[in-house]
Structure 1
Amino acid sequence: MNRRDVLFSGLKLAGGALLANTALGTIARAQDKQRITWWYETATPEQQGFIRDLLVKPFTTKNPQFDVAVDYRGTELDKQLRVAMLSGSGPDIVFTAGPSYVAPMAKAGQLLALDDYAAKFKWNERLLPVFLEMGRYDGKLFALPKTYETLGLFYNKTLFEKNGWTAPKTLAELEALAEEMKAANILPFAAGNANWRPANEHYVSIALNAVAGPDNVYKALTGAQPWTAEPFVKAIDTLNKWWQAGYFGKDYFSLTDEQAFALMASGKAGMMPTGTWQFQRVATYFPQNNAEAGFVGFPTADGIEGPVYPLGVGSTFSVAASSKNPDGAAALIDFIFSDEAYGAMNTAWQGEWNMPLSDLSKVKIGTEVPALYQEAMKTLAESVAANRYGYTTWTFLPPATDSYLVSGMEEVWLGRSTTADFLAQLDATFQGEKEEGKVPAIPAR
């Protein structure tokens, strides 16, 4: 071997050592990072990109000691989360479908009390008090709401103007308009539960608040009157009347809510009783149909001051008691509730990230966000602040009661059960869970 070969061999060895050391250093640095695991529900590739680019990347840039792993579990999230929490193998950040899911987990010791983090990050000052109360169980804070929402009536404003219709303000006006639509071969209510069976309770919540009224719903939630009381009989009878009259159409069980929204945007359906989360679809479907969307509070029955905006929490953030990185999980949750994250997510993805910040004066939202969305969120915030709100079932009912409501309402629609039987079972289930302490916190009116 000549000198050149020796030199070349030495360079190869040195280079190999350098590469090996570099690789080991990279692995060591990756291992040094503290991982935060977060299971999320359904999200399109575009929406996953928003979470990655507008939440995860900015957070890890500011906090390079952390590594965030978001796992999209789709519609199976709740089922998989329940199993994982029982075995202590769940994610660091526990993402639920609402406060009714929090109480059983808190009672079972599966969630970490967040009071110390609330003090550290000043959540008590930065978030609307009513929503902090919803996340409490047995006097301790266990959850923060990701978004607050309401139910109302979307409608095809262009179709309405073409036919000389105006948005209804009373149930009588709503029903008269629905009959006109049927006569014109237009589906009155765009609706479907093919992708989310609990969509059934959106309509139950609407009926309970618009017909029975929020004061009666509050009395039932706090145990002052049973769910079998006459106001609720009238509410479920009214909802069933709409079903039997064909307002929901023949394809309810085979349509997804997105397909239903597209029907409204195209003018094949006139109205859609649903939640503010549907704002995320306005820009996708209305422009391509050269149409404009409208949104109003849902009409109310005689004697009920309206419109009533049922208050809902679409999902919550908690930290698992078994988390190996609770400080990191709490820090990520805190970032999500920042002015920066609120502005970015509400610019890109309306209807799903309306975090209950108490002061939005420093939030910057893009000019491309539809004025209709901003107006609806402003109206909702004013209603909450003025104590003029109703109650959504998925937010305020305990889990078994809520689960029965979803399936039981279908039985009434399909003629397999009666209003009286449905409400009797609903009340029995609720009273049992109330005795077990599973009813979520109910803010005083």
Structure 2
Amino acid sequence: MSSLKHLAAAAGLAAVALAAATASAQDKKPITWWYETAAPENQENLQTILVDPFNAAHPDQSLSIDFRGAELDKQLRIAMLSGSGPDVVYTAGPSYVAAMAQAGQLLPLDDYAAKLGWNDRLLPIFLEIGKYDGKLYALPKTYETLGLFYNKTLFDKNGWQPPKTIAEFETLADAMLAKGIVPFAAGNADWRPANEHYVSIVLNSIAGPDNVYKALTGQIPWTAEPFVKAIDTLNKWWQAGYFGPNYFSLTGEQAFAQVATGQAGMAPTGTWNFTNVPRYFPANNAEPAFVGFPSAEGVPYPIYALGVGSTFSIAATSQNPDGAAAVIDMVFSDKFYGDMNSAWQGEWNTPLKDLSKVTMADSVLPLYGQTMKNLAGAVSAGQYGYTTWTFLPPATDTYVVSGIEEVWLGKITTAQFLETLDATFKQDREQGKAPAIPKR
């Protein structure tokens, strides 16, 4: 009988413990975050480097990340309109932020920036980029640049040097074509906005960042001669076959892999592709390299077109804004920078002012660390340009992606492309949807 009582008592204690655990779980405040596409190993990196440590350090909070894939942007827009979006709002860049801020969908972050020290911890230019109507609404998850990845092993074998001028670049690309090598490793099968990477490159490296700045601030139209020259040159490269025969059927990763195999000579793309370097170059016994994209006559070399690939905001309807701010604050820590960049290069270059306290694993490619230092130095020295997805308003940016394809396919002329671009930009600006443009 006593044993039965003992079992009953044990069962009762177990029930109490389960109820307490359930109640404890229910007491935790949820923090939701919708994320884009990520490879399985990088989903695991986010779980072990961010979610688990955050939840352990904040026992009253429960952070969860929901991977939404390529449809994130569409799903987010619909959810934000109905007030049912996540707490941490993750956008594809500042061009999306102005419209959301204008619609009252985002919470101003100025108080958090002051309270949590973001104003002192982050590069000032990124605080300016995230503002709308004088208030801070977004901070970058990562800042990036465009340049030229190449296969140093292939270059050494052929006696090639990385080009610094457009003339040198075109001579090199023609030499690659003559050898049956595709000059550009490029593809947009999984991400059509890859089109604008190349538009951004020519606007900055051919028209020049000073002219881009003047156009962004309304001082000159997008139909001005420097932009005609830039788009004409890009179209010339397309017609010459620099992009290869499979641009529309290759994903970005498949295209980048061709640099490592030697099927393609160069990849004019962004620093986010550092995440693919360890995946492909060692397996092909090839040494990777990265330099600034060549510049036209009269444009300094190198120009690093400044990009913000994605931003963090907090939903105005969030039931837990303090929790969301705590997550963003952890992302802007020295420890997180070191841990995440050790595991996942190219996607988490958060805009910290000082990287001297950051420690990364010995396995991290020195080329990556040096490139990030070069980029930070270029930003500080003012030798940077402007990526379209960061500095153009949303409708204008969307047109760049579709319009340049029409130029390549002979459906419209450069003049028609730039006329529509200019008209769309003026309309966006009049509607108050243009991102903030920091003074040069």
- For normalisation by structure 2, the TM-score amounts to 0.99
Distance 1:108 1:277 in 2: 30
Does 1:79 find its partner at 2:74?
A: yes
Gaps of 5+ in 1: 1-5
Q: Which of the numbers 193, 200, 204 marks the counterpart of 2:199?
A: 204
What is the rounded CA distance, in whole Å, between the counterparts of 1:338 and 1:309 in structure 2?
Answer: 25
Aligned pair partner of 2:10 in 15, 20, 23:
15
1:330 aligns with 2:325: yes
Alpha-carbon displacement from aligned partner over 1:329-380 (angstroms, at most 9, x marks no partner): 0011000100110110111111110000011111111121111111111111
Aligned: 1:347 with 2:345: no
Shift of 1:88: 0.3
> What is the deviation of 1:13?
2.6
Range that drifts further, 365-374 or 158-167 = 365-374
Q: Which amino acid aligns with 2:396?
A: T
1:107 aligned to 2:106?
Answer: no
Q: What pairs up with 1:46-445 in 2 under 5 angstroms? A: 46-445=41-440
**Larger radius of gyration between Structure 1 and Structure 2:** 1
Q: Deviations over 1:212-246 (max 9, x none)?
A: 00000000000001101111011000000000000
Runs (5+) with no aligned partner, structure 2: none
Report the secondary structure of 1:351's partner residue.
Answer: coil
Whole-Å separation in 1 of the counterparts to 2:302 and 2:88: 36
Deviation at 1:62, TM superposition (A): 1.5
| Matches of 1:389 and 1:166, distance apart in 2 | 23
SS at 1:431 equivalent: helix
Amino acid in structure 2 at the alignment position of 1:327: D
| CA–CA separation in structure 2 for the residues paired with 1:312 and 1:65 | 36
SS of the residue corresponding to residue 352 of structure 1 reads coil
CA–CA distance in structure 1, aligned partners of residues 121 and 48 of structure 2: 24
Q: Distance in 2 between matches of 1:380 and 1:8?
A: 72
Q: Which moved more, 1:387-396 or 1:9-18?
A: 9-18
Residue 400 of structure 1 deviates from its aligned partner by 0.5
Give SS of 1:350's match. coil
The residue number in structure 2 matching 1:3 is: none
What is the TM-score normalised by the length of structure 1? Answer: 0.98
- How far apart are the structure 1 equivalents of 2:64 and 2:367? 34
Is the partner of 2:297 in helix, strand or coil?
coil
Aligned residues: 440
Separation of aligned partners in 2, 1:20 and 1:57: 27
State the Cα deviation string for residues 228-273 of structure 1 (Å, max 9, x = none).
1111011000000000000001100000010011111000100000
Task: Report the alpha carbon displacement of residue 14 of structure 1 after superposing the two structures with TM.
Answer: 2.0
C-alpha distance in 1 between matches for 2:15 and 2:40: 36
Deviation at 1:50, TM superposition (A): 0.8
1:41 is aligned to 36
For each residue in 1:125-145, what CA deviation from the matched residue of structure 2 results, as whole angstroms up to 9, or x when unmatched?
000000000000001000110
| 3-state secondary structure, aligned to 2:143 | strand
Alignment deviations for residues 173-197 of structure 1 (CA, whole Å, 9 cap, x no partner): 1100111100100010000000100
Shift in Å, 1:63: 1.3
For residues 257-290 of structure 1, the C-alpha deviation after alignment (integer angstroms, 9 at most, x for no partner) is 1001111100010000000000111111000000
- CA distance in 1 between counterparts of 2:287 and 2:117 reads 41
The 2-side partners of 1:195 and 1:165 are apart by 31
Amino acid at match of 1:161: D
Report the CA distance between 1:111 and its aligned residue: 0.2
Displacement of 1:23 in angstroms is 1.1
Q: Which amino acid aligns with 1:153?
A: L
Distance in 2 separating the partners of 1:308 and 1:198: 21
- Post-superposition shift, 1:12? 3.4
Q: Which amino acid aligns with 2:205?
A: A
Q: Once the 2 structures are TM-superposed, how far is the Cα of residue 16 of structure 1 from its aligned partner?
A: 2.4
* Residue type at the aligned position of 1:47: N
Runs of 4 or more consecutive aligned structure 1 residues displaced over 4 Å after TM superposition: none
The residue type paired with residue 179 of structure 2 is: A
**Distance in 2, Cα, partners of 1:373 & 1:386:** 20
